[in-house]
Structure 1
Amino acid sequence: MGYQDNAVIEPPNNIVAVESRFVFNKPITLVINTKLSLSSKDFTIKDVEGRDYFRCKGNSLNITDKKVLYDLYEIPILNIKNQLLSLKDKSTIYLGSNSEKVIATINQKNMMNLNKYTLEFFNQAQDKNEFLDMKCNIMGSSCGIFYGKEKEGAPMVCKITRKINASILSSESNYYVEIAPGVDIALIVAATICFDQLKKE
């Protein structure tokens, strides 16, 4: 199963988990370039025109694998911690650079299925707790994110496509993240970073 050819659909209402300034009225495609080394793991987030949006910094040797997402002013927006040693993989997304306020959690649906995750968050636009379904293909090369349950006809508000550098000497891969209008792009970037880590594990 893959979602590369499926179109993203604008949700019936805005999805705001981090801040409303990260919600746009038109679709946007972001490119996340990952560069791997023994001591660090940094992501550069740009759009397809090369404009900067975010920067993510983290330490891959940290057992919690914490990563911090910064805006263009180098202000920490959110941070991500992964729990990968339990029976079910889990990622927690916090506001800012500390662990005081949880923005969202991403949980593996069950131990036997490594391709389905649920992202739970508080939607500021609706003033209630909601969830996104994350469905990945077996190879980890694509992921569809649905506003609700896919099997119930929920709209796919984002699709993630992974492309690996063909060079044998390169450890880079690019994620192309197509996001529908009305969707918090900071939340989706965090989900993409979690997707990358979970698929590697």
Structure 2
Amino acid sequence: MTKQKVEWGVGDPTINVVGDRFCNPHPLELSVKRKMGLSLTTYDVYDVSGNLLLQVDGGVWRLDRKRVMRDPAGFPVLTMRGKALSLRDKWSVYHGESSENSDLIFCAQQSKALKLKSEFDIFLANNLGKEVRDFRTSGSYTNLSFKVYKDNAVIARFSQVNHKYSWKSFKGLDTYSVKVNPEVDYAFIIALLVMIDETEYQS
């Protein structure tokens, strides 16, 4: 009987969703800081040495919840566009700042309408319309702790470790801890974190 894989590890196939430059052969520990002001939300992604790896930004009051991920030089990596469909949330992710179907990377949609426990099904662009998902997330909004799976194997996990909010300045600061397994696209994982966080914030 074949033993079922429970954790993605060194030597496993590369999970390249956004780009191979975001795939590391070793485990990654990242810190994500979300800053929310009156008009703009930003997510800054750092490695353990404090180097900025990615930044995500978008307007607070945009109905389409457009979020753009950029590299340290400011060049767009991908764009996330979120919509509420009935009681579920759906996000579509495109290369660069595109919104063309030819540039679609993947779509993520809540598996269940109830938002106390968030489960997203993720379908790559070449798998849309099929019943079998490529990845899934599972976690709880009560403590904002999530895992990302390929089949039954965990490929990444993240959780909220700090929350600060000032009514005086109308600014918020949240910090997240992200652990990305070897050979897993960390830009893809950060995009999922942003989607889940934004879905919770809007709910």
Structure 1 length normalisation: TM-score?
Answer: 0.84
Report Cα offsets for 1:23-62 as digits up to 9, x if no partner. Answer: 1100101111011111000111111221110111111111
Find 1:105's aligned residue among 104, 107, 115.
107
Gaps of 5+ in 1: 1-6, 124-128, 149-153
Q: How far, CA to CA, are the matches of 2:166 and 2:73 in structure 1?
A: 35
Letter of the aligned partner of 2:24 in structure 1?
F
Q: Is 1:115 aligned with 2:118?
A: yes
1:93–1:102 CA contact under 8 A, matched in 2: yes
Gaps of 5+ in 2: 1-5, 127-131
Equivalent residues in 2 for 1:143-154, closer than 5 Å: 143-148=146-151, 154=152
Identify which range, 114-123 or 73-82, moves more after superposition: 114-123
User: Structure 1 residues 138 and 66 mapped into 2: Cα distance closer, same or farther (>3 Å)?
Assistant: closer
1:30–1:45 CA contact under 8 A, matched in 2: yes
The Cα shift of 1:191 comes to 0.7
Letter of the aligned partner of 1:103 in structure 2?
I
Q: How far, CA to CA, are the matches of 1:119 and 1:48 in structure 2?
A: 28
The Cα shift of 1:112 comes to 3.4
Q: Is 1:51 aligned with 2:34?
A: no
Letter of the aligned partner of 1:9 in structure 2?
W
Query: Which residue matches 1:22?
Result: 22
1:158–1:178 CA contact under 8 A, matched in 2: yes
Based on CA coordinates, which of the two structures has the bigger radius of gyration?
2
CA RMSD of aligned residues (A): 2.2
Determine what percentage of the aligned residue pairs are the same residue.
22
Letter of the aligned partner of 1:165 in structure 2?
H
Q: How far, CA to CA, are the matches of 2:155 and 2:48 in structure 1?
A: 18
Q: How far, CA to CA, are the matches of 1:44 and 1:112 in structure 2?
A: 29
Query: Which residue matches 2:136?
Result: 133
User: Structure 1 residues 8 and 176 mapped into 2: Cα distance closer, same or farther (>3 Å)?
Assistant: farther
User: Structure 1 residues 138 and 190 mapped into 2: Cα distance closer, same or farther (>3 Å)?
Assistant: closer
Report Cα offsets for 1:87-114 as digits up to 9, x if no partner. Answer: 3111111110121111111111122354
Query: Which residue matches 1:60?
Result: 60
Structure 2 length normalisation: TM-score?
Answer: 0.83
Q: How far, CA to CA, are the matches of 2:105 and 2:134 in structure 1?
A: 12
Query: Which residue matches 1:174?
Result: 175
